[in-house]
């Protein structure tokens, strides 16, 4: 088991490298001079040059890359070009809301989509299934921010039950914390519930077509038993896969949600940084997100091996 983990870890290195190179190159290709931006208007040419040297931007690109990589590996993500604060501090500051939204949404999604997907597969072709299928297509077609505005319109403006926007950390009280997160999670969750439900449904339907299901029926097992004891355990692998993919896609959705609901999280930080061309933050955050993504997939990979005894024998 350990050797497998090490092997998979080793395999992620080239991918991480590609990510780092892609991000680094994109940013270096940006027109506009970061040194000039930092120096501000009215700076003299010498001042800009001085800042440039200070930031290490006069070095050839491979050297800049090398320096940046070694710094990152030591935990130093540099300082924000705009605010001058260390990036790591800014990240830690704004991590809380993003983690809260992400975790709650994943939980919400899995708790709803897995049972609904199973039900839909079991009652395939019946009204329940048709309703779920139609709702799913609708769910992933409506953009997050539209769902968000619709929900805000209904629950905040018309009914007045929930706040329009904003974020309250846990320290402010559990109920207040959750109250502000209900709408964001509901908006974000809709899309992912739709996608995962669809996928759970088709995985179970596929599994139900396998030969060993026929054997189970031939034993005299009823449909409920077939579903729970045979189909579900075998569908676990593809379902884990799609949950992993969903977590990756979630990051994109979080960005938009934080924007609509004015939540001070990492998603909004990234967008602000990109628009302000603050390289250090952009590099750090995109690499951070990608690393999280890669490790989530690694974790899922390991989970597979626990669930399915066929792998690695």
Residue (172 or 312) nearer to another protein, CB = 312
79: which strand partners?
86
Contact predicate 39/26, CB 8 Å: no
Give least dist CB 213 to another protein, A.
8
Residue (111 or 131) nearer to another protein, CB = 131
Please spell the DSSP secondary structure of 146-158, one letter per residue. Answer: HHHHHHIIIIIII
With residue 215 as reference, give the H or E element that holds it.
Answer: helix 211-218
Give least dist CB 205 to another protein, A.
5
Measured N-to-C along each axis, helices 174-208 and 87-122 cross at an angle, to the nearest 10 degrees, of: 50
Q: Please count the helices (runs of H) and the strands (runs of E) in the chain.
A: 13, 0
Give the three-state DSSP class for 83. coil
Residue (183 or 260) nearer to another protein, CB = 260
Give least dist CB 47 to another protein, A.
25
94 burial type by CB count under 10 A (0-12 exposed, 13-18 middle, 19+ buried) = buried
Closest CA to 267 of 22, 102, 24: 102
17 burial type by CB count under 10 A (0-12 exposed, 13-18 middle, 19+ buried) = exposed
**What distance in Å separates the CA atoms of residue 58 and residue 38, rounded to the nearest whole number?**
15
Residue (112 or 232) nearer to another protein, CB = 232
Residue (70 or 215) nearer to another protein, CB = 215
Closest CA to 192 of 88, 73, 109: 109
Q: What share of the chain is helix, strand, coil (3-state, %, to 5)?
A: 80, 0, 20
Give least dist CB 231 to another protein, A.
10
Residue (170 or 295) nearer to another protein, CB = 295
Give least dist CB 57 to another protein, A.
16
192: which 2 tokens? Answer: 């992912």
Give least dist CB 132 to another protein, A.
12
Residue at token pair 């884990």: 240
Residue (106 or 256) nearer to another protein, CB = 256
86: which strand partners?
79
Give least dist CB 249 to another protein, A.
7
Residue (124 or 177) nearer to another protein, CB = 124
Give least dist CB 298 to another protein, A.
12
């Amino acid at each position: 088991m350990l050797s497998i983990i090490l092997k998979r870890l080793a395999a992620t290195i080239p991918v991480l490298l590609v990510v780092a190179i892609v991000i680094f190159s994109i940013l270096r290709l940006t027109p506009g001079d970061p040194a000039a931006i930092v120096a501000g208007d009215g700076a003299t040419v010498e001042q800009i040059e001085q800042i440039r040297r200070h930031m290490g931007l006069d070095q050839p690109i491979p050297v800049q890359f090398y320096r940046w990589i070694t710094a990152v590996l030591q935990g130093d993500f540099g300082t924000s070009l705009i605010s001058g604060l260390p990036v790591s501090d800014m990240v830690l500051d704004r991590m809380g809301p993003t983690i809260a939204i992400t975790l709650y949404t994943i939980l919400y999604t899995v708790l709803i989509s897995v049972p609904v997907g199973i039900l839909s597969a079991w009652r395939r072709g019946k009204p329940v299934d048709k309703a779920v299928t139609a709702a799913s297509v609708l769910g992933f077609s409506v953009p997050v921010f539209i769902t968000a505005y619709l929900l805000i319109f209904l629950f905040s403006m018309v009914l007045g039950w929930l706040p329009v926007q904003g974020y309250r950390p846990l320290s402010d009280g559990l109920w207040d914390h959750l109250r502000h997160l209900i709408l964001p999670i509901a908006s974000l969750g809709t899309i992912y519930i739709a996608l995962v439900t669809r996928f759970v449904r088709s995985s179970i339907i596929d599994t139900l077509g396998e030969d060993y299901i026929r054997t189970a029926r031939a034993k005299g097992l009823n449909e409920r038993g077939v579903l729970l004891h045979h189909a579900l355990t075998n569908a676990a692998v593809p379902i884990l896969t799609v949950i992993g993919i969903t977590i990756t896609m979630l990051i994109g959705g979080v960005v938009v949600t934080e924007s609509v609901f004015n939540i001070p999280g990492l998603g909004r930080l990234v967008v602000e940084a990109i628009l302000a061309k603050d390289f250090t933050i952009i590099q750090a955050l995109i690499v951070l997100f990608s690393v999280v993504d890669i490790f989530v997939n690694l974790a899922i990979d390991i989970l597979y091996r626990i669930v399915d005894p066929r792998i690695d024998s």
